[in-house]
Amino acid sequence: ETGVTQTPRHLVMGMTNKKSLKCEQHLGHNAMYWYKQSAKKPLELMFVYNFKEQTENNSVPSRFSPECPNSSHLFLHLHTLQPEDSALYLCASSQEPSGTYNEQFFGPGTRLTVL
Amino acid sequence: AQTVTQSQPEMSVQEAETVTLSCTYDTSENNYYLFWYKQPPSRQMILVIRQEAYKQQNATENRFSVNFQKAAKSFSLKISDSQLGDTAMYFCAFSIHSGTYKYIFGTGTRLKVLA
C-alpha cells in the first residue's frame, strides 16, 4: 500500500448505528486530518492530529469522535448521525513542521450515507 | 475571517485551449502558502501547483501556471493546452501556521474539457 488509504470506501448507516472510518498513511508523516466534503461547500476541516495529539477540533458535533493511536493511523468513530452528515469524508496527511511546502496528501475518501 | 472564494462553480474548455480558474482569498496572516488541488471524478485529490506567499515569481508546473497577486489576494490557475485528463474539480486553498498548519479551501470549480 502506498500513500493514504481509507476504508471503507462506501458506507450506508442508519441514524442509530455505530460505525468507524479508518485512515492509514504510508508516507511517514506526523500530521493527519479529517475533512468533510459536501457538494457546493468548501472542504470543512474537522480534526487535526500532530504527533498523535489533537491540535484542532473545528467545532465538530460530539457524534463524531476521532482517535489517533499512532502517527500512521486515524479513525473517525460515528454514532447517532443525522442525514445531513451524509458526505464524502476525506483523510489527509502531511509532514509538519516542514518549514517549506506543507503539501497535504489525500486519501480516496469514504462516501457516507446516513438514512 | 479566513476564506477562499472560487466564483466559477463550473467551466468548460475545448481540448488544446487555455482556461483560467479564478480564486481570491482573505487572511490577515503575512506568511502562508497557496495551493491548487485537483480532484478527478471518483479519484483522489492531488496537488497541482503551490506558491509561497513571500515569493513574487509565479509558480509554473508544465502546463499549469498561476497568476499570484498578493496585494489583491488573488491566485488564479491557468491551464494551457487543456487535455481530457484535466477534467476534474479544482480546489484553491491556502495554509497558515497557528500551532499547526491549518488549511482553508474554496468550494471548487468543476472543469470539463471537451473533445
Question: What digits encode the pLDDT tens for the residues A3-20?
Answer: 999 999 999 998 888 999
Write down the pLDDT at residue A1.
60
Chain A CB within 8 Å of residue B31 CB: no
Write down the pLDDT at residue A97.
64
Chain A CB within 8 Å of residue B44 CB: yes
Q: Name which of A43, A56, A108 is nearest B102 (Cβ-Cβ).
A: A56
Q: Name which of B45, B97, B106 is nearest A106 (Cβ-Cβ).
A: B45
Digits of tens for pLDDT over chain B (115 positions)? 789 999 999 999 999 999 999 999 999 888 899 999 999 988 899 999 999 888 889 999 999 999 999 999 999 999 999 999 999 999 999 988 776 678 899 999 999 999 9
Residue B105: all three cell numbers together? 479551501
Say if residue A101's pLDDT is above 70: no
Nearest-5° angle of CA B52, CA B44, CA B31? Answer: 15
Write down the pLDDT at residue A8.
97
Say if residue A100's pLDDT is above 90: no
Inter-chain residue contact A45 with B107, CB threshold 8 Å? no
Chain B residues touching A109 at Cβ < 8 A:
44
Write down the pLDDT at residue B19.
98
Chain A CB within 8 Å of residue B101 CB: yes
H or E element: which one contains A93?
strand A87-94
Q: Name which of B33, B101, B106 is nearest A96 (Cβ-Cβ).
A: B101
Write down the pLDDT at residue B48.
96
Mean pLDDT of A67-81: 94
Contact between residue B82 and residue B113 where contact means Cβ atoms under 8 Å apart: yes
Distances (CA, A) of A60 to A78, A85, B33, B44: 12, 11, 25, 24
> How many interface pairs between A and B have CB atoms less than 8 angstroms apart?
54
Inter-chain residue contact B100 with A90, CB threshold 8 Å? no
Contacts of B42 by beta carbon, 8 Å cutoff, 6+ apart: none
